[in-house]
Amino acid sequence: MKLTPIKLRRLNLGITDTEEAIEKLGISKSTFYKLEQGHHEPSAKLIARMAKVYQCTTDEIFRDFKMLG
């Protein structure tokens, strides 16, 4: 499994339990895995939740997904 920037961000924060991350983000397992593999762009609301859970800015999340804000 490849290490995408968003997955590295989660792991570097010490969130190794995927179920914990899924619960905190309030998304399905399918969406979670698609995001971590880079096959899905999150909505603005999800980016805000990700920034809160991953303790970073929304700009950093946009950058992880190579999205222009």
Sequence letter at residue 52: K
Sign of CA dihedral 51, 19, 43, 36: positive
Question: What is the rounded distance in angstroms from the CA atom of residue 67 to the CA atom of residue 24?
Answer: 23
Radius of gyration of the chain measured on its C-alpha atoms: 11
Domain 5-64 top-level CATH class:
mainly alpha
Sequence letter at residue 31: T
pLDDT by residue for the chain (69 residues), tens only, comes to 689 999 999 999 999 999 999 999 999 999 999 999 989 999 999 999 999 999 999 999 999 999 975
Instruction: Parse the chain into domains and list their residue ranges.
Output: 5-64
Beta-sheet strands, E only, within the chain: none
Question: What is the rounded distance in angstroms from the CA atom of residue 12 to the CA atom of residue 31?
Answer: 21
The pTM assigned to this predicted structure is 0.89
